[in-house]
Amino acid sequence: MTEQVFTPQRILAVAAHPDDIDFGFAGSIAKWAQAGAEVYYLIITDGSKGTNDRSVPPSKLIKIREEEQRAAAKLLGAKDVFFLGYPDSELMINLELKKQVTKYIRQLKPDTVLVMDPTMIYSNARGFGFINHPDHRVAGQVTIDAVFPLARDHLSFPDLLSEGLEPHKVSTVLMINFEKHNFAVDISQTLDKKICSTSASQESNS
């Protein structure tokens, strides 16, 4: 697979948990940010179940993981990180969540949205099997629905329109899929930043 020439100007990366973006898109984000792209993160859950340390209560873990995510995003060159605060591992596809993602798309007006492919449920390509987290699948489906048609159509969520949030058309959606690949980015010059960002976002799991 050869690298496609792609130069986004404004990116919204949507993920279920703190650290999802760092493991999935960090090298590409760092490359595009260095080229001048504005990058924003939208994290849907509070990450309150993402640790093996039984001594850390969820309330403390939420703060830790937010701090880790902000540090990782700053390292990669992202401009801001937004958190919706839904309970970890409890995401459901519903209209209210779609509306919240739609709101950020209309506010930030990205030309490119990054998210996980919601169609990937199970993968055995890694040799040991992998079940994709249900939050990942929900985040992916909700984001795709928000991109089209909800963010585009002025009759979707008229209260957003009354707030001054005009419809917006996203031109490109890139999705993480562990088995089916049709897009590649050369991150050889930003791989070190990807490694550092994943380390920064995983300290709470050590």
Identify the band that residue 145 occupies on the pLDDT scale cut at 50, 70 and 90: very high
| Domains of the chain with CATH codes | 10-205 (3.40.50.10320)
Q: How far is CA 38 from CA 46, 94, 197, 206, in A?
A: 24, 29, 18, 31
Neighbour count for residue 88 (Cβ, 10 Å): 22
pTM of the model: 0.93
The pLDDT tens digits of the residues spanning 62-114 come to 999 999 999 999 999 999 999 999 999 999 999 999 999 999 999 999 999 99
In this structure, are strands 130-131 and 122-123 parallel, antiparallel, or unpaired? antiparallel
Spell out the residues 6+ positions from residue 45 whose beta carbon is closer than 8 angstroms to its own: 16, 17, 84, 85, 86, 87, 88, 89, 90, 91, 135
